């Protein structure tokens, strides 16, 4: 199975900061990479699909990039409601599916 590795595992940031989260696949997955946001006690929410396509209704401060094995999620100006855990997920194998271990974004 494909292994997904996110970094960092956690980060501290302030409102207005630019936040960057990276995700690396153990093999080429083209652009079959999706990003989710999860808040405590809630289901994950799709943010970005196909590496760079913004899901309908998601604020434009979220963006994704990358292809092959290296991917990035950027939040250009962190808002209070963005403090959450973020997961990448590969859908190249379709299925099985693998998730990254998550990146927790905490308030500084």
Which residues are near other proteins by CB under 8 A? 1, 32, 34, 36, 38, 43-46, 49-50, 55, 87, 89, 91-92, 94-102
Taking the least distance from each CB to other proteins, the nearer of 14 and 94 is 94
Distance in Å, CB of 34 to other proteins, minimum:
5
Distance in Å, CB of 56 to other proteins, minimum:
10
Distance CA 31, CA 15 (A): 30
**Residue of 63, 61, 66 lying closest to 53 (CA atoms):** 63
**Residue of 48, 40, 59 lying closest to 88 (CA atoms):** 48
Three-state SS at 81: helix
Taking the least distance from each CB to other proteins, the nearer of 62 and 89 is 89
Distance in Å, CB of 14 to other proteins, minimum:
25
Three-state SS at 88: strand
């Amino acid at each position: 199975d494909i292994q997904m590795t996110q970094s960092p595992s956690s980060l501290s940031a302030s409102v207005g900061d630019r936040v960057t989260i990276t995700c690396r696949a153990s093999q080429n997955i083209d652009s079959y990479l999706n990003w989710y946001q999860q808040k405590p006690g809630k289901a994950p929410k799709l943010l970005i699909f196909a590496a760079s396509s913004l899901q309908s209704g998601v604020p434009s401060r979220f963006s994704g990039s990358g292809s092959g094995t290296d991917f990035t999620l950027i939040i250009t100006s962190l808002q209070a409601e963005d403090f959450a855990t973020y997961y990448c997920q590969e859908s190249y194998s379709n299925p099985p599916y693998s998730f990254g271990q998550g990146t927790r974004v905490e308030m500084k």
